[in-house]
Amino acid sequence: MSRRDAGASSRPPRPQQRAPRLRDDQYIAPATPAGRFYDPFEDDGPAPEFAAETDHDPVRDHGQDAQPEFVDARDDTRERAPTIETRSRAPRQPRPAEVFTVFAPCPQGLEEALTAEMQALGYEDAKAGRAGCSFTADWAGVQRANLYSRLATRILVQVAHAEISHEDDILDLARDTPWERWFGAEQTLRVDTSAIKSPVQSLQYCNLRAKDGICDRLRELEGERPSIDTVRPDARVHLFLTGHTATLYLDTSGESLFKRGWRLDKGEAPLRENLAAGMLALAGWDPAAPLLDPFCGSGTILIEAAWIALGVPPGISRPFGFERLRDHDAYRWRDLKDDARSRILPQLDAPLVGYDLDPQAIEFAQNNAERAWLTADSIRFEVGDARDITAPADHGWIVTNPPYGERMLTEQDADLWRDWASCLKRNFAGWQLHVITSDLTLPNQMRLKPKRRVPLHNGALDCRLFGFELVAAGYRDA
């Protein structure tokens, strides 16, 4: 026996430490990894204790021929072996996921396209509304909508709705809403208010009432009010008023969804990413077909098209507001994004080409494409004049945001539209042309008859998306 073993055997055994008993109000849940839900019903306590085996051996004590003695169950005077009571547990039925009413706002004019997108993503009850669409989803579905929607501006979860007769009713509605489910006093808050045909006198006062109701509830429950942060808050709440009703929404997106995370270099009058994706949807662009933008600017339309063709989710590289809320399951969210990444295609099937007269705009476009993880050969950006370009294929789509409004003040050539139309008629027969502009006289200036005109809002500008079919025969030279 080694010295170590001898020393160990000579030590008296340590008395077993018992955990102190806690009162019910002192119970502390076991520690769990961050982001994981602890289910107390999965902990059945310590394993049952079995009685120690005795040294009695009938063969050793009574000889080789001895047989073990059987104990009569009716004889209570004999020592009986301990019995272990086993209980069978029926499998627990999964709890049904909570379903929320969701509203996804979008630029005006994209409501039907957004509804079709949501239905394609699996939200079968999606219904178009004013400047957005509504649908129902569980919390995982809310996260998927944030990750995959190209056209929505935000994903808002309805948490309260009531009729109101006075601004102070908003205070009561906000105070009665269980905000502690999603955020608490330790997090920062921002509240925004909008209204349609509401009789309230001051939206600012209504906004203050909603904020006070939220803060009063959290102070009563947690002893402290959350701080207000209007720039980068942890939690955002939207109050929407219409007629005599008030609806409170929890903003799960954080920053607007059109901020994909790749566009840092912006040209003059940049097009928002979700509007660019909406233009492609309304144009009916086939992701397997060539696409050209002769006024590409910082490349927004073409980069959006590349992500559509490759199947890159628009939210794959940006953070979301729901990640900062309470009980966020980071592991499940990571799995959802990993599944989305596994479906991204390795390369494009058709050429994407962009031209612009401004070399700096082309540099911006190339930088943005690189930040969007697109290789240099994914999109061909070149300095070029829209009036002199040639078609990269015998058919395809032209989707573009040419200069209009104040941007036209910098144009030197008053014959731009006539010369561009001549180029299109010569070189792009068989192509589809879709142009967004606030200049409603554009078709006349180009001497083209639009087959479609869709009202769209580009920021504050009331625009039209004109659709043309370019056919060589039947056109007069411009």
Through-space distance between the first and last CA atoms of the chain, rounded to whole angstroms: 107
| Dihedral sign for Cα atoms in the order 352, 355, 359, 365 | negative
Tell me 299's DSSP state.
S
Confidence at residue 389, expressed as pLDDT on a 0 to 100 scale: 95
Q: For residue 86, which of 51, 53, 48, 52 has the smallest C-alpha distance?
A: 48
Looking only at the bridges linking them, the beta strands covering 127-129 and 245-251 are unpaired
State the pLDDT at residue 44.
Answer: 32
Long-range contacts of 135-140 (CB under 8 A, 24+ apart): 135/102, 135/104, 136/99, 136/100, 136/101, 136/102, 137/99, 137/100, 137/102, 138/97, 138/98, 138/99, 138/100, 139/97, 139/98, 139/100, 140/97, 140/332, 140/336
User: pLDDT value at position 58?
Assistant: 39
pLDDT tens over the chain, length 478 residues: 444 444 444 444 444 444 443 333 333 333 333 332 222 223 333 333 333 434 444 334 444 444 444 344 444 444 555 555 555 555 555 567 899 999 999 999 999 999 999 999 999 999 999 999 999 999 999 999 999 999 999 999 999 999 999 889 999 999 999 999 999 999 999 999 999 988 888 999 999 999 999 999 999 999 999 999 999 999 999 999 998 999 999 999 999 999 999 988 776 667 999 999 999 999 999 999 999 999 999 999 999 999 999 999 999 999 999 999 999 999 999 999 999 999 999 999 899 999 999 999 999 999 999 999 999 889 999 999 999 999 999 999 999 999 886 555 445 556 899 999 999 999 999 999 999 999 999 999 999 999 999 999 998 899 999 999 998 745 455 4
Listed residue (430, 372, 363) closest to 396, CA to CA:
430
Beta strands in 130-188 (DSSP E): 132-137, 156-163
Please tell me the distance from the alpha carbon of residue 251 to that of residue 285, in angstroms, as a whole number: 31
| pTM of this structure | 0.78
Helix H segments across 223-283?
273-283
Query: What are the backbone dihedrals phi and psi of residue 48, each rounded to the nearest 5 degrees, phi first?
Result: -65, 145
**CA dihedral sign, ordered 423, 427, 428, 430:** positive
Sign of CA dihedral 340, 343, 344, 348: negative
